[in-house]
Every structure is written in C-alpha cells, then in structure tokens.
Amino acid sequence: MKLLHTSDWHIGRALYGRKRYEELKAFLNWLAGLMEDENIDVLLVAGDVFDNSTPSNHAQALYYRFLYRVAAAPNRHVVVTAGNHDSPSFLNAPRELLQSLNIHVVGCASDPPADELIVLAGPDQEPRLIVCAIPYLRDRDIRTAEAGESIEDKERKIIEGIRTHYRMVCEAAEEKRARLKKPIPIIAMGHLYAAGGQTIEGDGVRELYIGSLAQVRMDVFPECIDYLALGHLHIPQTVGGSDFIRYSGSPLPIGFGEAEQGKSVVLVEFLGNSPNVTKIPVPRFQELKTLRGDWQTIARDIDALKTRGSNAWLDIVYEGDEIAGSLRERLDEAIEGTGIEILRVKNNRVLERAMSRMDTDETLDDLDVTDVFKRCLESHEVPEDQRPALLSAYKEVIVSLNEADLMAE
C-alpha cells in the first residue's frame, strides 16, 4: 500500500492579520492532485487540521471540499487525528457520516484505547494495514492531578500516561494482527514533542503540557510500530535517527522564520512490512521574504523583487542609523503598483532616541504568552524565589485554556 503522511495544516491561520486561505486552497488542490497521480491508498493527517478550536466557515469549507474530492476514489482511505489546536468534538461530529466515505476521524483519546484502532482494507476488501490512530493526548486523558504535586511529578506522570496509552493501543493492534493471521504492517500516529525534535523561533508551536513541552523519548513507542507518523513540530525531520519515525512538518511556512525552509509531505510505500520512505517537496504557494538593513539596502531588495514580478509578502526590519520617521510611507511608495504586500515593519530607530532606556527591539508580536507573563513578574518586582511557582501555575492555566473544547456542549 502507498501512504501519504502530512500534518499541521493550521487552516484559518493568519500572518500579521493576513488570512492565508488562498495558500491553503492551493496546497489542498496540489495534495489531492498528488494523491491521484501517485495512486495513494491512505492519507494520514497527524493533527492540527485547523488553527483553532472554532474554525470559520471558510476554513471548514476548504476542509470538507478537500475530503469530498479525495473520497471520490474507490478504496482510498483517509485517517485524521486531532492536534492540540483542534476541537475534538468538532472533528468527531461528522465521523459516522465520513466513515461511510472511508474517512476515519479520531478527535480524542478513547476509552478503551483499543477503539483508536483502524483496520484498512485493500481493493480486494482484505485487511492490508492496521493504524493506531492516536490523537493529541490531553493532560486530563493521561494524568490524574493530585494535591501537592511538584512540576517533576506532573511531568513524570504525563510521560508515563503517554507510554501507557501507546502500549495499550499497540497491544490491541498486535492482538488484531494475530487474529487476522496476516503479517500486515502496523502504523501509529501521534501529535506530541519527541525528544531531540527541532523547532524554530516564532513557529507558533504551543507548549503542550504543564511544566514544559514534556518531550517524549523514543522508548515510549512500542517496537511493533512499522512507521510512526507524527505531527506538532513544523520542521520536516526524522526522530532518533530512524527513517520510520518522522514529522512531516507543516506544508506552509507558519511565519517568516520558516520562509527559506523546504516543506514536504512523506510518501511511505510498503512492500510486505518494510516501508520505503520518500519526501515529496511541497511547492511554495506564497513567497515570504524578510528584508533588513538600511534604507538603501531595503530599497535595492524591493527593486529586485519588482524586477522579477514578485508578489511576495514582506517583513521589513529597518536597521539603518538614520531615524526614518516616514519609513512606512516610503515603503508604500516603493511597492505601489506591484503585487507585493508589506505585512510588518520594525523600525527600532524612531523610538531609540526618545526612549533610550527601553528595549525597543521587541514588539508584542515577538512575544508569546509566557514571555509576557515573565515581563509582568519583572515589572512588578516579584522576588526570584517566588517566580517558578507562579510561572508553573500560570502555565497550568494556559494549558487548561488551550485544551478547552469550545465546540463541545
């Protein structure tokens, strides 16, 4: 069977206020075409389909139109699991209807975990693949809170909860394979932070659990797994040196920090139980560029973009010595009549003279919620010995808010 592994679509995400629906539409059209050209049997979507738990009508339309198109092929299967950005109840709501189209959705952890097991049949209706469709495991799914727990106790219980969940689902998969009396592959999915995984500053990857990102070691995953399709980290990468444990990465650059990063989906072809893995590059549907320097440098770079007819979205970082108070007006004039858009301008020089004692390198857009809280602790001169406990309590609140399913009754 031929599988395609992708994740982290983040449909509905904006970049400095600019919605990215056209990019996602182009990507989904490309993905559907790729599945048709490559005769893909199974598509695995490992979480963060949407960027938030209350997707807009436009975001939903893109998702369902894509599923409608790919479900048209007979005997093709799609497996969608929820990520930490998704609403479990929203994804699960149409699951019975979608299952009739060979689209299998797992929005939340099941009780028993064996219910996350999906056996996929080939054109001859014979079982060909077992998928352990494990979604993002929320804190409440895998850990029982107790009074007086330390941060270390919480993290240990989270890791053990993840280990136990994977073990129970994979044991059920092995039992199912034994009953089928067929040596078919076992695929597992996950949406988590594997130890050693690479991230990039400003990629929007949320902290998943209380205390830290709770990085999961490779020994958490049972050895029976023939391929592990992961989501959550946006850089395409293998984990632990294994070709068979992979993050597909996000198909679009989430921010300007990923502008030069190659994006891909993963093609997995099984000949027996041995997977052959290939990365397929995703085309760049919208050019993102960061231009930095003094006015002459930035103007020259804009001229170069105009010469080649670029429609890039720009992040401008002005670093000249001149206090360019009319920088935005000059930039707007420079791109007038082109398809270029400027999404953000950082002009630190204007404020440096007026507020020389303040750090003006950063804006609120550059900080996450934890950074803002740390600044509040500093500004209110909270004693250093009190900060760890306050920060831990704050992160617990943020995790709880992020995991709240606003689409559930």
Does 112 sit behind a cis peptide bond, omega within 30 degrees of 0 on the bond before it?
yes
Distance CA 409, CA 399 (A): 20
Over 60: is that where the pLDDT of 356 sits? Answer: no
Over 90: is that where the pLDDT of 394 sits? Answer: no
The pLDDT assigned to 339 comes to 93
- The contacts of residue 59 (CB under 8 Å, 6+ apart) are 11, 12, 21, 50, 51
Averaged confidence pLDDT in the chain: 86
Alpha helix locations (H) across 194-323? 295-307
- Name the residue with tokens 């231009």: 291
Over 50: is that where the pLDDT of 357 sits? Answer: no
Question: How many helices, marked H, and strands, marked E, lie in the chain?
Answer: 11, 17
Neighbours of 277 (CB within 10 A): 16
The CATH code that applies to domain 2-281 is 3.60.21.10
Enumerate the domain spans of the chain. 2-281, 289-403
pTM, two decimals, is 0.84
Mark residue 101 as left, alpha or beta (left: phi above 0; alpha: psi -120 to 50; beta: remaining).
alpha
Taking only the tens place, the pLDDT of each residue in 308-345 is 999 999 999 998 887 766 888 999 999 999 999 999 99
Q: Which letter does DSSP use for residue 231 in this model?
A: E
**Of 74, 13, 16, residue with least CA distance to 41:** 74
How do beta strands 274-281 and 264-271 pair? antiparallel
The answer to whether residues 249 and 235 touch, using CB atoms and an 8 Å cutoff, is: yes
The count of C-alpha atoms lying within 13 angstroms of the C-alpha of 218, restricted to the half-sphere facing its C-beta, is 15
Distance CA 361, CA 334 (A): 24
Q: Which letter does DSSP use for residue 312 in this model?
A: -
**Of 244, 149, 243, 239, residue with least CA distance to 194:** 239
Beta bridge partners of 239: 242
Taking only the tens place, the pLDDT of each residue in 200-248 is 665 556 565 544 555 788 889 999 999 999 999 999 999 988 899 999 9
CA 332 to chain CA centroid, Å, is 33
The answer to whether residues 275 and 46 touch, using CB atoms and an 8 Å cutoff, is: no
74-78-81 Cα angle (round to 5): 165
The count of C-alpha atoms lying within 13 angstroms of the C-alpha of 350, restricted to the half-sphere facing its C-beta, is 10
Class of domain 289-403: alpha beta
Taking only the tens place, the pLDDT of each residue in 118-154 is 999 988 889 999 999 999 998 888 877 666 667 777 7
